[in-house]
Amino acid sequence: MRILSGIQPSGRLHIGNYLGMMEPAIRLQNEGEAFYFIADYHALTSTHDPAVLRENVRGLAIDFLACGLDPEKATFWRQSDVPEVTELTWILSCVTPMGLLERCVSFKDKIAQGVSPSHGLFAYPVLQAADILIFDSDIVPVGKDQKQHLEVTRDIAQKFNDRYGDELLRIPEPQIREETATVPGLDGRKMSKSYDNSIEIFEETEKKLRKKVMKIVTDSTPVEDAKDPEGSYLIQLYELFASKAEVEEMKASYRAGGTGYGHYKQQLFEKIWGAFEPMREKREALIADPDYVEDVLQNGAKRAQEKAREVLDRVRKATGLGR
Ligand code: AQP
């Protein structure tokens, strides 16, 4: 079983990225042939400063390794070190109907946010399809926001196979965990860098993290009154880190009244800080050893490139490209 997933180096990692993609990816590295990459070609759609892009790639590599990605088990590389994927993107573009891309919600969402769209932003589901299909991937662990893009990938693979030959491209399956499908942000919408509602996994100090958690939007029920646990983002976030019994205790305390939201936020803060505490030390060691991190990415790129060439050669032959 080949597992593939990618993540954009577009800023600091948040709890949504971690629970939606990184944590499942790290777990799955023990269950199959894992391929994980830093999607720097994708980040070009939004990051236009070369120094920032480089720094984000470096930071993401460090954070993923600190969280438990094991380069002995998983192949881990920088997307642009395997440029074969851009050739496959072009080939797939030629079987991709415009309508398929026009229907993509995440593109429409970016437009609604006022982003002036480039062709890259519009076409990025095709690059994503190439990322997945070039490794004959079976399973793609992602958050729910990527579900539609995975369907696009499957459609593109099917169209390619219909045109050039059955089973030329392997049709992948998304793997979306119910509990962490959409991690809510401070305001209850999907946690997302572009909504400015994120809680970062490696906030620099406890004070900064506490300040962030205190910003979670709650209603204005007075301290002494009973509170409704249903639909509380605070509880939804607490559920991701606390045991069942602890969640039940918080819910009961909500219903009983007499406790302010600040108290519950403090409990949540402690859980989040504690969850990432063991990774901080490893992260510091990785920050101090940039050569090791670069070696991991280079070695990963070599392995990834070998696999990518196999599929690309098959595709080139089938389409009539080359000799
Ligand atoms: N809130 C979330 N809940 C669950 N999963 C999430 N993911 C992102 N946000 C959530 C998952 O993280 C993986 C990496 O996604 P990405 O590289 O596309 O990161 P992103 O989309 O850049 O994260 P943002 O913050 O949502 O960025 P913007 O605002 O730029 O779109 C994916 O598997 C994704 O599902």
Any idea what DSSP says for residue 145? G
Catalytic position from the list 108, 110, 215, 265: 110
**Domain range holding 250?**
203-275
Catalytic position from the list 144, 190, 227, 282: 190
Residue 110 lies in a domain: yes
End-to-end CA distance of the chain: 32
**How many A from CA of 46 to the centre of ligand 1?**
14
265 is catalytic: no
Q: Are residues 271 and 296 in the same domain?
A: no
Q: Are residues 72 and 134 in the same domain?
A: yes
Task: Pull the structure tokens for residue 229.
Answer: 């646990």
CA distances from 39 to 36, 60, 215, 322 (A): 9, 10, 30, 28
CA distances from 173 to 69, 151, 277, 279 (A): 22, 9, 33, 30
Ordered strands of the 173-175 beta sheet:
74-78, 33-38, 2-7, 139-141, 173-175
Q: Are residues 12 and 81 in the same domain?
A: yes
Tell me how many domains the chain contains: 2
Atom of ligand 1 nearest to the CA of 110: 31
Helices 290-319 and 147-164: angle between axes, nearest 10 degrees: 40
Residue 192 lies in a domain: no
Q: Is 38 helix (H, G, I), strand (E, B) or coil?
A: strand
Strand partners, 3: 34, 139
Q: Which residue from 64, 145, 187, 200 has its CB within 8 A of the most atoms of ligand 1, so it is best to mutate?
A: 145
Atom of ligand 1 nearest to the CA of 198: 25
Residue 62 near residue 102 (C-beta atoms within 8 A): no
| CA pair distance 63, 34, nearest whole angstrom | 18
302 is catalytic: no
Which residues does ligand 1 sit against, CB inside 6 Å?
7-8, 10, 16-17, 20-21, 39, 142-143, 145-146, 180, 182-183, 190-194
Q: Are residues 169 and 312 in the same domain?
A: yes
CATH code, 235: 1.10.240.10
282 is catalytic: no
Each of the 323 residues of the chain gets a pLDDT tens digit; together they read: 999 999 999 889 999 999 999 999 999 999 999 999 999 999 999 999 999 999 999 999 999 999 999 999 999 999 999 999 999 999 999 999 999 999 999 999 889 989 889 999 999 999 999 999 999 999 999 988 899 999 999 999 999 999 999 999 999 999 998 888 899 999 999 999 888 999 999 999 999 999 999 999 999 999 999 999 998 999 999 999 999 999 999 999 999 999 999 999 999 999 999 999 999 999 999 999 999 999 999 999 999 999 999 999 999 999 999 88
Paired sense of beta strands 74-78 and 139-141, if any: unpaired
Q: Are residues 294 and 270 in the same domain?
A: no
CATH code, 124: 3.40.50.620
